[in-house]
Structure 1
Amino acid sequence: MLLFDGDCGFCTVCVGFIERRIRPAAEVLPYQWQDLAGYGVTAERAAHEVLWVRPDGTVSGGARGVAALLRSARGPWRPLGYVLAVPPVSWAAHGLYRLVARNRHKLPGGTAACSIAAAPPRR
């Protein structure tokens, strides 16, 4: 399952692309509709990064979550998911993810409601 910020216009636009083009083998749901405590996740973390929840309950967030999502898809997306998980590509993916997440309110579909704190959540 992929959990995203359903209150964020930019995130919703991205999810539309994911569902139309990537078509992962998973449900894509707003985190606001989920029992996050059941996954061992806080609302603060869910607002900070997209979350990939595997059937065994393991949670990956941010660029790692995106890589896991891509690995669940078919076609050219799957190999890209594996590439994104290997250093130094994974380091660059993490940096790019954080840059986009910090500025999502400025991107197409984004609004002031999409803005998040720059500091990462405590785990």
Structure 2
Amino acid sequence: MWALIEPLLPPWPERSPGPKPVADRLCLEGILYVLHQDVAWQLLPLELRFGSGQTCWRRLDHWQQAGVFDRLHRILLAELNAAGELGWTRACVDGSHVRAKEGETRPVHRGSTGGRLAAITI
């Protein structure tokens, strides 16, 4: 997986102020540790040498803003599709990740207080 992720990561400036940054791979391992173990960022154990929770969180934020995970998602989907491992007969959309545009007609839940809702029909 690292071979797919590493080329997507933005480069660090050669002369950045402060101490040498924690290696990207170690930060990724720290991020995955926090997500897998479901611990707070500040509870990431320093003895694991992933860097501090704050360092890992900042790197995650930096990568997210750089579009790393969107590009990785597209690459993984393309590889799975090429291997015939994706079934495209069904789709599911999480409305919390689909922007509802102002003024469009949309389905509304009967008990709704008027919150935004986006839907897709296949």
With the shorter chain as reference, the TM-score category is under 0.3
Greater per-residue strand proportion: 1
Greater per-residue helix proportion: 1
TM-score of the aligned structures, taking structure 2 as reference length: 0.27
Q: Which has the higher contact order (CA 8 A, sep 6+)?
A: 1
TM-score of the aligned structures, taking structure 1 as reference length: 0.27
Larger radius of gyration: 2
